[in-house]
């Protein structure tokens, strides 16, 4: 019996020792990583961005931020802020946002009329500008229901903030 007890004690010691070594290794590795960012957040930078949103517009070859951030009148009210953003967006004259819905999880659905003659590239770039601009409101996903001038649905898609990563700053 003593023989088995000593083997069990030795096994427990080995397991305990392995556990201690693994724990120490994990704690050392968890300290490794990226150095803190050199970007400093100042009170001034926070105040300048408070209640504002970055709007984007489509160019011939991409999506660019507007030169100034837009100051929202009601930044705490998603519906009012979204209304402001829609009014301030610089879109193609062949595209009109007719109405929008916001669900309980802050996902936005836009109903957009697409006029004849818009190119696929122009449509893509304007979609990217819309989604990027609305993304600044801390809304959820953005769904777009595209219809032609006759009211026939031509496209329906949902976009996240990463859908147009390529068209970023």
The SS3 assignment for 62 reads coil
pLDDT digits (tens, 9 = 90+) for 20-47: 677 776 666 665 555 554 445 554 444 4
pLDDT digits (tens, 9 = 90+) for 122-154: 999 999 999 999 998 989 999 999 999 999 999
The whole model's pTM is what?
0.69
Can you give the residue ranges of every domain in the chain? Answer: 53-163
CA distance 143 to 131: 9
**Structure tokens that stand for 93 in this block:** 């004259």
Output the CATH code of domain 53-163: 3.30.300
């Amino acid at each position: 019996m003593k023989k088995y007890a000593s083997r069990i004690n030795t096994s427990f010691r080995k397991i305990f020792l392995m556990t201690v070594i693994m724990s120490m290794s994990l704690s050392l590795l968890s300290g490794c990583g990226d150095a803190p960012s050199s970007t400093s957040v100042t009170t001034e930078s926070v105040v300048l961005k408070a209640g504002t949103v970055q709007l984007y517009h489509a160019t011939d070859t991409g999506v660019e931020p507007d030169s100034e951030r837009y100051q929202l009148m009601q930044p705490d009210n998603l519906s009012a802020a979204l209304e402001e953003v829609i009014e301030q967006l610089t879109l193609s004259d062949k595209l009109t946002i007719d109405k929008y819905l916001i669900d309980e999880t802050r996902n936005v659905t836009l109903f957009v009329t697409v006029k004849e003659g818009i190119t696929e590239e122009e449509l893509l770039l304007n979609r990217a500008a819309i989604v990027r601009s609305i993304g600044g409101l801390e809304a959820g996903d953005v769904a777009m229901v595209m219809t032609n001038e006759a009211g026939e649905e031509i496209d329906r898609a949902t976009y996240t903030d990463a859908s147009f990563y390529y068209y970023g700053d």
